[in-house]
Structures are given as structure tokens and as C-alpha cells.
């Protein structure tokens, strides 16, 4: 590695760039997690976190990556042999489905082409056919990080309501929370799964379950085995400001600071910023004559854009050149998209010029890798940014 100047461009769709304020907050001395100062921090934080989920219910915080919060959502609400309906939106939906199977659940996995979100009409058909009401939960990845496609959760909710079906709705917002408009209470979500390392602008290491009243009731009779993930002792200890295990104290300092930053900007403004950066990125990609992976206008992700390369080109080669020449990391294609796409992360601590620099790096990297692109894409993106 040659020596580098300036900052590395971390433009993967998470973990994202951590703001200096957050890094500084996390560098404070670790305190006694059983003492009064910590209890005050927890009580304040458990309230402070609610608006980003748009919930008034409890949010459980785990010292774990997002995968842990996936497991927590399942084991707290379901029993061995329960049937769940999930949608193959991409790599992460596939991993969640595999986990559900490994935990002893029976998963109906609606096939998908990794270019569309969960289909509310197909959901309506499946629920209508479920006359015996054996489906206990519907699992949807809100923002499929492997494809840059955002499922329409409000429409998913409407489909469940129209079928008058009692299934729980479990939603993964790991790459959407704090970046894309999301409403746990309004959309009747029962468990929202989230992680610290993307829109929340923190390092990896925290994950979350926002929990509805209906999910709490379900948890009383759910029989999948659980210990560490069990909501009940955590919610109980949280009432006094504590956790039944050693919490990730310094990440919680960072969480407090990051939430204050998001609220100071205003959540609607945060979502509008992500939408604008997504639109500018698409203007560049389309202007270059390349294809955006997301195939539905209504489902473009605000937090990342996946770019398909023409046949005969290896997306990992393009990423390698961009890393070596311009010190910028882009997201790799995952699973069946390996080598075919690269992903531009435009979420978290990010502004117009960070995006302009990112797209300039992509443009030069495509040239150097021998991918033929039309002129004008970068200019089109700058116009979107300028005219916003």
C-alpha cells in the first residue's frame, strides 16, 4: 500500500463514516455500568431512540451485530414449527430465511429476481389462501442492502390488513433506519430490526429490536429457545436504567450523540438528503449508459445504488482499481450478484460534495478498467445536486 493523504472514502453501504463528534463522544472514559450516571444515560437514551423508529413502544438494545437482532426478533415471537412467510429480495433476505430455518421455523420463501422489493400483491394472495391462518409472521427486509431496492412497507401492511390476517410483521431496517422514511407504529410493524453501523453513523456493535404491544403479547407464549436474546429481562432491567449483561457503554455514548445529530438536522431533512443523493447517483449511472439494478421506479433505495456492469466486465476489478488509485471502498456484489455489480453507499454522514467526489472516483475507475461509458453522467449528477 502506497502512503495515502486525505481521508479514505468509505462508500460501502455500511459500515459508514463515523462523524468526528461521535468519535469524540465515544472516547470519554468508560463508567460503571451499575452506577447512577449510567442509569441516567440509559433512561434518557431509551426515550431518545424512539423517534428514529417512529415508535412510542420499547426498543431493546443489544451489544451485537444486526444478525443478533434478526435472531432476537424470531426467537422472542415464534415457536418451533411455526410457519413464516418471507420474500427473496436479495442476499440478506436469503440469510434471514436460512436463520429462520436453522431455528426450527418453516419458511415459505416467495422467489424474487433480486431487482424488486417484496410484492404486496403476492402477499395478499398468499394470505388470502391461508384460510387456516397458519402463517404466524411475515418477514421483510425494508432496504435490501445487496441490491439497493427498498420494499414498500406501508403497502405490505395494507395487504395484511386487507386480508384481516393476524400474522406478525417483522421488518429488517438495518440499512434504512435513519436514512429512509420509516414508521414502526404507523405501519403496524411488530418487530423492527436495526443496527448501529449504517444510517445511525456508529461503528458496528449495537443492534436493536423495536417491539409492538402485539409482539410483546406474542413473546409471552413463544417457545423457541432463547436466553441472551430474551426481551423480558432486558426490558425489566431497563426500567431501572440497567442491562442484564455488560452493555457496550462507549457505543451508547456515541448513539446518544448520533441521535442528537439526526434530530438537529430533522428526520424529514435527513430522509430528503438521502433521496436527493440517490437521485443524483442514478443520474450519473444512467448518464454513463449503465444500468441501475433496481428495476422499479418506486423502490430505488435512498441509502445505496447498485450498478450493473455490461457483460464481460468484472465489477470486483473495477472496485480494486478504484481502491488502489483513489483510496475509495465501494460495496461488492454479494451472493449471486458477485462480480456483476458494485454498490455505491450514499448513506449516513454524507453531503453533496462527498457524493460528487465519490461519483468522480467511480467515473475515473470505470475508465481505467476499460468500461465504456457515455460522457455527461457526472455533470447530470452535479445538476441534480445544484438544483435541489
* Residue ranges that bind ligand PLP, judged by CB under 6 A: 14, 65-67, 92, 141, 145, 172, 174-175, 195, 204
Specify the residue, 41 or 193, whose C-beta has the smaller distance to ligand PLP. Answer: 193
Q: How far is the CB of 174 from ligand PLP (least distance, A)?
A: 4
Q: How far is the CB of 32 from ligand PLP (least distance, A)?
A: 28
Give the residue carrying C-alpha cell 390476517.
Answer: 165
Q: Phi/psi zone of residue 110: left (φ > 0), alpha (ψ -120 to 50 degrees), beta? A: beta
Residue nearest ligand PLP (C-beta atom) = 66
Specify the residue, 174 or 202, whose C-beta has the smaller distance to ligand PLP. Answer: 174
Rounded distance, CA 244 to CA 384, Å?
Answer: 49
Specify the residue, 202 or 261, whose C-beta has the smaller distance to ligand PLP. Answer: 202
Q: How far is the CB of 144 from ligand PLP (least distance, A)?
A: 6
Specify the residue, 22 or 41, whose C-beta has the smaller distance to ligand PLP. Answer: 22
Specify the residue, 56 or 338, whose C-beta has the smaller distance to ligand PLP. Answer: 338
Rounded distance, CA 62 to CA 134, Å?
Answer: 30
Q: How far is the CB of 342 from ligand PLP (least distance, A)?
A: 16
Q: How far is the CB of 286 from ligand PLP (least distance, A)?
A: 25
Rounded distance, CA 348 to CA 174, Å?
Answer: 12
Rounded distance, CA 322 to CA 116, Å?
Answer: 28
Specify the residue, 123 or 202, whose C-beta has the smaller distance to ligand PLP. Answer: 202
SS3 content of the chain, % helix, strand, coil (to 5): 45, 15, 40
Q: How far is the CB of 98 from ligand PLP (least distance, A)?
A: 12
C-alpha cell at 296: 422499479
Specify the residue, 195 or 241, whose C-beta has the smaller distance to ligand PLP. Answer: 195
Distance of CA 217 to the CA centre of its chain: 26
Q: How far is the CB of 384 from ligand PLP (least distance, A)?
A: 26
C-alpha cell at 229: 436474546
DSSP for 3-53, please give it: ---S--EEESSSS-PPPHHHHHHHTSPP--TTSHHHHHHHHHHHHHTHHHH
Which strand (E) or helix (H) includes residue 60? strand 59-62
Comparing C-alpha atoms, which of 314, 284, 282 is closest to residue 300?
A: 282
Radius of gyration of the chain (CA): 21
* Mutual angle of helices 249-265 and 267-287, in 10-degree steps: 80
Q: How far is the CB of 131 from ligand PLP (least distance, A)?
A: 32
Specify the residue, 98 or 236, whose C-beta has the smaller distance to ligand PLP. Answer: 98
Amino acid at each position: 500500500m502506497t502512503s495515502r493523504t486525505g481521508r479514505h472514502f468509505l462508500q460501502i453501504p455500511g459500515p459508514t463514516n463515523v462523524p468526528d463528534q461521535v468519535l469524540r463522544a465515544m472516547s470519554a472514559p468508560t463508567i460503571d455500568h451499575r452506577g447512577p450516571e449510567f442509569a441516567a444515560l440509559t433512561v434518557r437514551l431509551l426515550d431518545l431512540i424512539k423517534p428514529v423508529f417512529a415508535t412510542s413502544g420499547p426498543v431493546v438494545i443489544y451489544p451485537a451485530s444486526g444478525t443478533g437482532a434478526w435472531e432476537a426478533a424470531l426467537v422472542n415471537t415464534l415457536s418451533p414449527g411455526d410457519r413464516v412467510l418471507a420474500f427473496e429480495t436479495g442476499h440478506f433476505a436469503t440469510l434471514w430465511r436460512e436463520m429462520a430455518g436453522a431455528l426450527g421455523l418453516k419458511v415459505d420463501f416467495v422467489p424474487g429476481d433480486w431487482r424488486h422489493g417484496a410484492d404486496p400483491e403476492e402477499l395478499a394472495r398468499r394470505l388470502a389462501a391461508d384460510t387456516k391462518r397458519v402463517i404466524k409472521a411475515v418477514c421483510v427486509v425494508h432496504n435490501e442492502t445487496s441490491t439497493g431496492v427498498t420494499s414498500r412497507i406501508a403497502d405490505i401492511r395494507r395487504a395484511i390488513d386487507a386480508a384481516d390476517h393476524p400474522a406478525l410483521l417483522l421488518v429488517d431496517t438495518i440499512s434504512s433506519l435513519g436514512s429512509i422514511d420509516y414508521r414502526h407504529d404507523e405501519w403496524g410493524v411488530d418487530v423492527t430490526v436495526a443496527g448501529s453501523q449504517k444510517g445511525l453513523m456508529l461503528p458496528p456493535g449495537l443492534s436493536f429490536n423495536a417491539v409492538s404491544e402485539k409482539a410483546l403479547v406474542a413473546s409471552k407464549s413463544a417457545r423457541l429457545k432463547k436466553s441472551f436474546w430474551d426481551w423480558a429481562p432486558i426490558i425489566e432491567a431497563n426500567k431501572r436504567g440497567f442491562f442484564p449483561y455488560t452493555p457496550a457503554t462507549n457505543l451508547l455514548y456515541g448513539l446518544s450523540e448520533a441521535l442528537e445529530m439526526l434530530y438537529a438536522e430533522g428526520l424529514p431533512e435527513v430522509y430528503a438528503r438521502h433521496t436527493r443523493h440517490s437521485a443524483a447517483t442514478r443520474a450519473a449511472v444512467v448518464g454513463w449508459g449503465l444500468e441501475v439494478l433496481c428495476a422499479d421506479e418506486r423502490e430505488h433505495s435512498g441509502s445505496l445504488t447498485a450498478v450493473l456492469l455490461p457483460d464481460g466486465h468484472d465489477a470486483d476489478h473495477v472496485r480494486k482499481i478504484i481502491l488502489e488509485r483513489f483510496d475509495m471502498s465501494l460495496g461488492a456484489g454479494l451472493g449471486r450478484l458477485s462480480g456483476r455489480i458494485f454498490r455505491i453507499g450514499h448513506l449516513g454522514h454524507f453531503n453533496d460534495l462527498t457524493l460528487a467526489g465519490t461519483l468522480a472516483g467511480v467515473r475515473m475507475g470505470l475508465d481505467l478498467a476499460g468500461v465504456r461509458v457515455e460522457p455527461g453522467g457526472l455533470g447530470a449528477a452535479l445538476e441534480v445536486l445544484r438544483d435541489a
